[in-house]
Chain A
Amino acid sequence: MTLEQLLADTTPALLDIQQRDLTEIKQAKDWQAKYRVLMQLGKKLPAIPEKMKQPELLVKGCESRAWLMHYHDKATDKHYFVLDSEARIVKGLMAIMLCLVNGMTTAELCQFDLCHKFDQLNLKPYLSQSRGNGLTAMVSRIKHCCG
């Protein structure tokens, strides 16, 4: 498995999430329904093989660990990511985040406001507990990639 392969698997999965699951989450009639979708999201993203989880990729939450890989296409100035987490709900939330930022240019990434986007998806409460689940750490790691 290489970063190229992981990127190639991640991009269509994110497209699928964006086109189908986000609406489903927004329209979920109760929390159970929302969580059922959230937990499926993580499964759609490829898992980073254990061997590739180098310490420098680790993004630490209080309760679970996540990993982020980054690729910057210099020709088009676009940023692509691959991520994984031990915890399924966190991975689902991170998948949504990734849908929003994958393929952004450096300038777009710098301006990106996750808080606002999550609010639109009725997911803002998850950001308030994000110190624990590592979402904030993941956002700042992603932002860090734009220099």
Chain B
Amino acid sequence: MPTFDVQQFRQQFAFFQQQPEWVYLDNAATMHKPQAVIDAVTQFYQQYNSNVHRGAHQLSQRATTLFEQARSTVASYINAQHLHEIIFCSGATAALNQIAFGLMHTVLRPGDRILLTQLEHHANIVPWQLHCQRFGVIIDVVPLTPDHQLDMAAYQQLLQLKPKVVSFSHISNVLGHIQPVADMVTLAKAVGAITVIDGAQGIVYQQPDMQQLDCDFYVFSGHKLYGPTGIGVLYGKTEQLARLTPIFAGGEMIDSVSFINTTFNKLPFRLEAGTPNIAGAIGLSAAIEWLQKYNNQQIVQHKSLLLKEFYTGLTAIKAIDILSSSVHNAGIVALNVDSEHPADVAELLNQQQIAVRSGQHCAMPLFSYLARPGAIRCSFAAYNTLDDVNRCLLALEQAVEILTA
């Protein structure tokens, strides 16, 4: 097996040819798209554009075939047992909203408990909060250890409260820490909880195996996996998807309608109301097929090399406060310059054409726990190079110099 050729990989992203002066380290927010994805989306609009599951004509049948092939690509990528366990939606946020809404009443009753963690993205907090308040469901939160990892002892204790649902992220979008999801699922199942994994950051790190992981739900967004925006996946086991009340109604999800009663279509259509993002699904499928040409182990190695260089470089810069641990890290580093506001640091990096995110990264509960006003976040992808790492380090050094002058 030849080694990972980052230049060859990077060349497939037109973005870097268009913006050669930029160092893009905001990959946890969204990733760039390879030509294969752009071509697949363009080709669909130019050659086959039609609605799915509807037209009597061949064009619609062609679009339907492509759309259903996309479902099949996703299903085999994450090793789902059945095609209908892949629900297309607009992204991780939409999927988590569907799950939180869908489990109320059918599974969650007043007085029941659910379990979340301190480091969740707002998308895995607020939908629960919204519905739990209305339905009288109690939310418990797993705290962190002093080195900002999930406190597994506390997790086990909180499981003793018998939560009906446990929902946690695969990888923290702020710290980059990889959670021990396999163990967490096993422990949750032992107390009979439904397990939900927010894979928004996890999906690009690792090809997750649904049958091995054995979680009940796993959700992710296409745009964080080299795919288009506006497409995402809600994976659920058949029997769990069947328990979800649809959050949206109308269109293909319906079997028969009268003003007395409506019966719903079967899975997956029951949870895919309205015209789906057809081009998005085709684009996501193209992203997965393209990505599978590469060896993920080599990509992981490449990214950990970048991370190692970055950490080494950071220790040489004075006054840096690193929030992320370098172990069990998927390639995301949250940091601050001592006693400086992250917005100032990010602006000085922006001046040097280093794209990072700053602020609280939709994880306010985490930042109140960390007692920091926010952080800047450098997130690395497979197309980043050692040169990107070094330019970011130099820019940080320059920023520190200006800030502490």
Contact = CB atoms under 8 A, between A and B. Distances in A.
A129 B347 CA distance: 10
Contact of B347 (A62, A86, A89): A89
B348 A35 contact: yes
Given A35-B348, A63-B346, A86 B373 contact: yes
**Chain A, interface SS category:** helix
Contacts of B398: 32
Contacts of A31: 351
Interface stretch (B46-54, B193-201, B336-344, B383-391): B336-344
Given A31-B351, A63-B359, A133 B343 contact: yes
- Prevailing SS type, chain B contact patch: helix
Given A63-B358, A63-B359, A63-B374, A90 B402 contact: no
A39 B347 CA distance: 12
Contacts, number: 42
Interface string A14-32: 0000000000000000011
Interface string B340-369: 111110111011000000110000000000
B403 interface: yes
Contact of A86 (B341, B351, B402, B405): B341
Contact of A63 (B342, B351, B403, B405): B342
A36 interface: yes
A36 B405 contact: yes
Contacts of B346: 63
B343 A87 contact: yes
A88 B359 contact: no
Contacts of A88: 340-341, 344, 403
A34 B30 CA distance: 31
B341 A87 contact: yes
A31 B403 CA distance: 13
A64 interface: yes
Nearest to B357: A63
A87 B402 contact: no
A32 B400 CA distance: 12
A89 B399 CA distance: 12
Residue in B340, B347, B348 with the greatest tally of chain A CB atoms within 10 Å: B347
Contact of A89 (B344, B359, B373, B374): B344
A63 B349 CA distance: 15
B359 A35 contact: no
Given A63-B359, A63-B374, A86-B373, A39 B402 contact: yes
A31 B353 CA distance: 12
B403 A64 contact: no
Contacts of B350: 129
B344 A87 contact: yes
B402 A64 contact: no
Contacts of A86: 341, 343, 373
Given A64-B341, A89-B343, 11 more contacts: A35-B348, A35-B351, A35-B402, A39-B344, A63-B342, A63-B346, A64-B343, A86-B373, A88-B344, A88-B403, A133-B343
Closest CB pairs A-B (n = 10)? A87-B343, A87-B341, A63-B343, A64-B343, A63-B359, A86-B341, A89-B344, A31-B351, A89-B347, A87-B344
